[in-house]
A and B are shown apart, each in its own frame.
Chain A
Amino acid sequence: MHPIRKKRLTIVLFLLVGVSVAVALTTYALRQNINLFYDPSQIAAGEAPVDVRIRAGGMVEEGTVQRDPESLKVEFKVTDFTSSVLVEYTGILPDLFAEGQGVVAMGRMDGNGRFVADQVLAKHDENYMPPEVNEALEKAAGKRAAMPGATGESSAGY
């Protein structure tokens, strides 16, 4: 390669490396702000500030959704399978909200370790499948759980 071009190429590569390092350091420094939500373990560890608007995210724990028959108030536990946090919300939930589904709730922690949400968004995963396949999977899982001496996790609660 021509020496001038070699020199230009080096300059461009230096530019790219420099910019990448700068952006990497910036995003690393801002990682708390870029993270959309705190997971329940972070909240349990006391990393989430009390009485500041934050988001909490995780899975809705099976069997913990309690609806108030008189109003739109809902209570449920959000878990990341190591710890969980109780969420209280008044309002209409998105269609995809269900036990075992991911959610991101916006609100604040009150002093008693309870998360008071004013917005609940549903989070879905990257897996797509036809309904029949899902039914078949659930049936298979149910059979396995019903078998005597089954070792599979029965926490699914079907």
Chain B
Amino acid sequence: MWQIFHKLGSPKWFFGIASTLMPWLLVAGAALLMTGIVWGLVFAPQDYLQGNSYRIIFIHVPSAFLAQSVYIMMAVAALVTLVWRMKLADVFVTAVAPVGAVLTFLALFTGAVWGKPTWGTWWIWDARLTSMLILLFLYFGVMALGAAISDEKSSARAVAVLVLVGVVNIPIIKYSVEWWNTLHQPATFKLTEKPSMPAEMWVPLLLSVLGLYLIFGWLACLRMQTHILAREGRTRWVKELVQAREN
């Protein structure tokens, strides 16, 4: 097991694995995401209360879900950076932070668009919305800190500490709707209970969440490959790879 773990740390090995995985992730992810979103936006039934405006859930929930998952993955990678000093873990953190920021922004934006017709306001400083905004700023902070320190090793450690400190925000986002009075409603999907919507609504929602996960996987591989090439530009295997492509 430790051997696989150490092998994973080798940029060269990861580069190869990513290349074989990426087409599968892209095709499966795009298929699931398209099915989920088209099904949700066109064929799923209306809501008895909100009519058609609830359909934005098929974009809002996947992006909010991923925004938090990506941060948790980054926190695990940060732990690996700090304890095992694995280069690839830091590559992951720097490569996916902008993706996480975009997903968080998308969740906030679709939430605002949804909030205006249903609640009557674009924005309110309730615990769920505010903690989500803090998540966006955490992503910005991670990106800025990583870019501000030019030494690769100290940058990796500083970013890892920031990511780990920020991870306390994730349970706050998750449980904000239960711990405090908020305008945002509690979660529709719970781990222990059935979702509080019928299958013709939650199945497309689940498909788009899964699809977005796979698309994220593809994007993470792609961005990590780019970062690896930039960082390992002077090593022999990269030079050989480039030569092989050129011929």
Show the binding face of A for B, using Cβ within 8 Å: 5, 8-9, 12, 15-16, 19-20, 23, 27, 31, 34-39, 57, 93-96, 101, 104, 119-135
Contact = CB atoms under 8 A, between A and B. Distances in A.
Contacts of A124: 49-50, 118-119, 185
B83 A96 contact: no
A15 B165 CA distance: 8
Contact of B180 (A16, A19, A23, A34): A34
A115 to B, nearest CB: 15
A130 B120 contact: no
Interface centre among A8, A121, A135 (most CB of B within 10 A): A121
Interface string B68-100: 000000000001001110000000000000000
B188 interface: yes
B198 A12 contact: no
B211 to A, nearest CB: 20
Contacts of B198: 128-130, 133
5 contacts: A23-B168, A36-B180, A94-B118, A129-B47, A131-B47
Would you list the 3 A-B pairs with minimal beta carbon distance, nearest first? A94-B120, A130-B45, A134-B48
B127 interface: yes
Interface of B: 45-50, 54, 57, 79, 82-84, 117-121, 124-127, 161, 164-165, 167-168, 172, 179-183, 185-188, 196-198, 200-201
Nearest to B201: A128
B25 to A, nearest CB: 30
Contacts of B167: 16
A96 B196 contact: no
Nearest to B57: A128
Contacts of A35: 180-181
